[in-house]
Amino acid sequence: MAESYKADEDAKQEVRTMPQRPKTRRIVLRCPLLFTFNDRVSGNRFLADVVAHGRALAVMEGEGEVWMCGVNPGGLAAVGKDENLAYQEFRKEYTLVLHEIAEDAQTFGAFKQEVERFFNETNQPTEQDWLAAVQEVRAGRITGQCMPQLVRTRKRGRD
């Protein structure tokens, strides 16, 4: 389900493997989510404000685990004991990837190109599940109770 994040610049290959949700567990609920992340990232002689509008799927399992699986970015997934912890882990993983890209980029242009590639990567199976979950929301079978109930804390204007 989750894909690996790959960066290839100047023949240097780096692979970051994201956690993968086991396929044999019983799924209780799938909840489609939209998110906006704002980050300030510094790199090699550049400082960038990155605003990302993405899609993710929260997958609640009967065993008390919740997975946050990225649709866009598709190479991102995280797990937690509830929807809030899964969201927090997803957010942390996203931020780590941004900082890794900035660290590896030699120029702002290279950073921008790699962030766009990373973010535009679509996890096709998760996208199909996300679209099906959207239909469940529209039919009234999924309500807002599956959404992460986040306490927003702002640091210097960032989330």
What does the block give as tokens for 46?
């550049």
Number of domains in the chain: 1
Domain that holds residue 18: 5-134
Between residues 55 and 4, which one has the greater pLDDT? 55
Q: What is the pLDDT of residues 23-33, one digit of tens each?
A: 545 557 889 99
- 119 touches 73 (CB < 8 A): yes
Structural domain includes residue 140: no
Over its C-alpha atoms, the chain yields an Rg (Å, rounded) of 16
Amino acid letter at 147? M
Structural domain includes residue 33: yes
Determine the pLDDT at residue 149: 57
Between residues 99 and 7, which one has the greater pLDDT? 99
Structural domain includes residue 146: no
Residue 5 reports pLDDT greater than 70: no
What three-state secondary structure class fits 84?
helix
Residue pointed to by tokens 């290839």: 8
Q: Report the percentage of the chain scoring pLDDT > 70.
A: 73
Between residues 156 and 15, which one has the greater pLDDT? 156
Q: What is the pLDDT of residues 110-126, one digit of tens each?
A: 999 999 999 999 999 99
Structural domain includes residue 106: yes
- Confidence bin at 73 (pLDDT 50/70/90): very high
Q: In which element (H, E) is residue 99 found?
A: helix 83-104
Task: Return d(Cα 20, Cα 73) in angstroms, integer.
Answer: 15
